[in-house]
Amino acid sequence: MMKMKSLFALILALSFLLDMNGVTAENNLEDKEIDISSKLHQAEERALQKVVAFNNLPYHLQYMNQIKLETAAVYSQVEGKTYNELSTVELEKLNQVHMKTLTLFNDLQGVSKQITPLYLESTLSNAIEFNLVIAEDGISLFDILTAARNASTARDIGVEYAELMGYYYEDKFKTWDNPADAYRHFSWNFLNSKDMNVNKSRIFGDIHELALAAETEAKKQDLPYAGQITWGVLTAKDLWTSTKASVSTFNSTFDNASIMDLMNNSEGRKYSLKNYTRVSDAFYDALEIDKKLISYPSEISSTIRTQAWNGWK
């Protein structure tokens, strides 16, 4: 009888310890969730204190409109051509208009206040991206400025969150290929969708990824800088069509980091349609509750690639 009582007491003690471990684990999980939520809010609040302001815009808007019309006209003349198919006259026209848009881009950077440096992209990818956007039908000059402002806010959100979470890379806060990267892409598309609409937001998001893909190949060309811009623009325009038509082309064009960005861009647009006023609340639910976001490129599988392509096309 004494042995039975001792065994029963031991079972009770073990059960109590297991229950206590369960409570501790549950409390730790709740603390972690509260901590992540708090840091997401802090990152957003800090970033919103640095919202970009532009000076001397009337002049730039007038000049932008002139460049926009000129760029669109030149593009219509070379529609469907590759770089090697261009005549000398067509090539010269494209080079001229691309250098004008690059000058305009640099001017806009100069008249903006507190804009976060574009340290993740090169001047070449920015030039390719800006040329594609400025000539896009349905995208206004105010849309371009809105997207630029939101891009700066999203970059600030990523930097602030990386600092709060301790994501470091050498002397910088690492805001790529990690949850800060996901927050940055989600935020840009969420904010663009709220300020414009989902369709326009997607144009900006898709062009950004296409420009990065085209830039990689453009750098390999033995061309002067203006020629690399032109080559990159024409390549990006071709990729926009070919990646939608072929899953193999899509997969060879976008690496895992780009697929991660495409997926997180898409979710940012989707969550903008829900009843959220703060991007940090939307991101927290998408990341922690709904498990809809990609935090690291290593999470990309063949299933996710298929999902990404279906959304892309």
Please tell me the distance from the alpha carbon of residue 32 to that of residue 173, in angstroms, as a whole number. Answer: 21
- State the 10-residue block means of pLDDT for the chain, 313 residues long: 54 55 52 80 92 75 88 93 94 91 79 58 86 91 88 92 89 88 97 97 96 94 92 95 96 97 98 97 97 97 97 95
Q: How far apart are CA 313 and CA 304, in angstroms?
A: 14
What pLDDT is attached to residue 12? Answer: 55
- Asked if 172 and 188 count as a contact pair (C-beta separation under 8 A), the reply is no
Tokens 């976001």 appear where? 293
Rg of the chain, C-alpha, whole Å? 24
Could you tell me the maximum CA-CA distance found in the chain, to the nearest angstrom? 104
Task: Write down the pTM of the prediction.
Answer: 0.86
pLDDT reported for residue 123: 82
Assign 3-state DSSP to the chain and report helix, strand, coil percentages, each to 5.
75, 5, 20
pLDDT score, position 33? 64
Residues whose CB is less than 8 angstroms from the CB of residue 57 and which lie 6 or more positions away in sequence, other chains included? 111, 145
Strand-pair category, 112-113 with 172-173 = unpaired
